Structure 1
Amino acid sequence: MSHESPQAAAAVWLPFSQLATDVDQHTLGWLFDEGSLTRRLTHLSHDHFSVTPLYEGWQALRADECLALGIAVGAEGWVREVYLRGHGQPWVFARSVASRVALERGGLDLETLGSRSLGELLFCDQAFIRHPIEVCTYPTAWLPTEMACAGLWGRRSRFARNGLDLLVAEVFLPTLWQAAKEETR
């Protein structure tokens, strides 16, 4: 988890329609792919995919997360931060959040996921509806210290099921772009 104040950073989350056109097609293909990122990473890694939990627990959610979830700024929620790995390398930093109120009434126990992929759970449950993907240059202050690097692309989308909203953000690390480039050779 980042050790800098999460509220000090800011991000401008944009839908595809508002994104500047200077982003290359390969990057856009990853950012706006509406399929399961877990499945795509599993394929790219030739089944050498794993999830490493970094942090799981209750905390005040960031202002941008509260806004996206339609809850009061500063509301408490469950936060799960993980690395999605290919061949043991961290390829994606993922942060998933949900408000305490929504989890208590929504019947999803995020505390028991461990090293399983939340994305796989969301894509296997047909009741979840995925809202449009938004992207940004992810604030360095929000990244784990060992991966803090400026200019990384992040994306997020809200998944909803019967009053339960989960916000899933995924940040594409340089090691992923290298692996994807090698795959296309």
Structure 2
Amino acid sequence: MPAEFFETSSPLWLEQNDTTVHRGARDWLFDEGSLTRRLTDLAGGRFAIQVLEEGFEVLRADECEALELPAGSTGWAREVLLCGVDTPWVFARTVTARQAAEATDLELPALGNRSLGDLLFDNSAFLRGPIEICQYPSQWLPETHQVEGLWARRSRFDRDETHLLVAEVFLTGFWGALMFPPAKP
């Protein structure tokens, strides 16, 4: 990660009672089901996951706080693009503490292009915490998707001592597809 990744101050994550978000956006931001499944439906089945990065790194301050870890903790991070009809729609970043990644039976580093969302929603042992939203700092996005003011959501999934923090940023391509849905094959 570039140095500015760690220098950007943490955004203010808001809970569901925030009313500044347009109703259509709220429907996607606060939906508690599987985003992967919903995007697959919107894409008419033409959905793919592109892995950008994954591995161990120092987690951001807001991530450490959400995972109840000391500031500057090392964890496992996975960044992917969720693509509909060959267009990046969502940037997703999942993090967990190093010890959780090494101890869990989820085999996180072996996910490859498989959906973490499917794994979480098919495993009833995971409990989802509240969904929070923010306008994601553009510096935290992949360079080709750095746009100011994009809405993001995050929530923590817990199973025993394993805590996964999943953040999903809705990219401009998604909002365009939502306004003009792709034709079904």
Q: TM-score range by the shorter chain?
A: over 0.9
User: Does 2:121 correspond to 1:120?
Assistant: no
Q: 2:76 maps to which residue? A: 78
Equivalent position SS for 1:5:
helix
User: Does 2:26 correspond to 1:28?
Assistant: yes
Contact 1:63–1:73 (8 Å) recurs in 2: yes
Which sections of structure 1, spanning at least 5 residues, go unmatched? none
* Superposition map of 1:118-157 within 5 A: 118-157=116-155
CA distance in 2, matches of 1:22, 1:114: 36
Equivalent position SS for 1:65:
helix
Shift of 1:102: 1.7
Contact 1:4–1:141 (8 Å) recurs in 2: no
Shift of 1:4: 4.7
Q: 2:61 maps to which residue? A: 63
Could you tell me which amino acid in structure 1 is paired with residue 118 of structure 2? E
Equivalent position SS for 2:181:
helix
After superposition, the C-alpha distances for 1:14-52 in whole angstroms (9 at most, x for unaligned) are 1112x2x23211000010000000000000000000000
Shift of 1:103: 2.1
Select which of 164, 167, 171 maps to 1:166: 164
Q: 1:179 maps to which residue? A: 177
CA distance in 2, matches of 1:183, 1:149: 22
CA RMSD, aligned part only? 1.3
CA distance in 1, matches of 2:32, 2:162: 20
Q: 1:7 maps to which residue? A: 6
Could you tell me which amino acid in structure 2 is paired with residue 90 of structure 1? P
CA distance in 2, matches of 1:103, 1:109: 8
Q: Which runs of 4+ in 1 moved over 4 A?
A: none
Q: 1:88 maps to which residue? A: 86
CA distance in 1, matches of 2:125, 2:70: 25
CA distance in 2, matches of 1:175, 1:77: 30
Which sections of structure 2, spanning at least 5 residues, go unmatched? none
User: Does 2:97 correspond to 1:99?
Assistant: yes
CA distance in 1, matches of 2:66, 2:160: 17
Aligned positions, number: 181
TM-score, normalization: structure 2? 0.94
Equivalent position SS for 1:183:
coil
Shift of 1:96: 0.3
CA distance in 2, matches of 1:73, 1:175: 34
| Identity between Structure 1 and Structure 2 (%) | 50
Could you tell me which amino acid in structure 1 is paired with residue 26 of structure 2? L
Contact 1:53–1:81 (8 Å) recurs in 2: yes
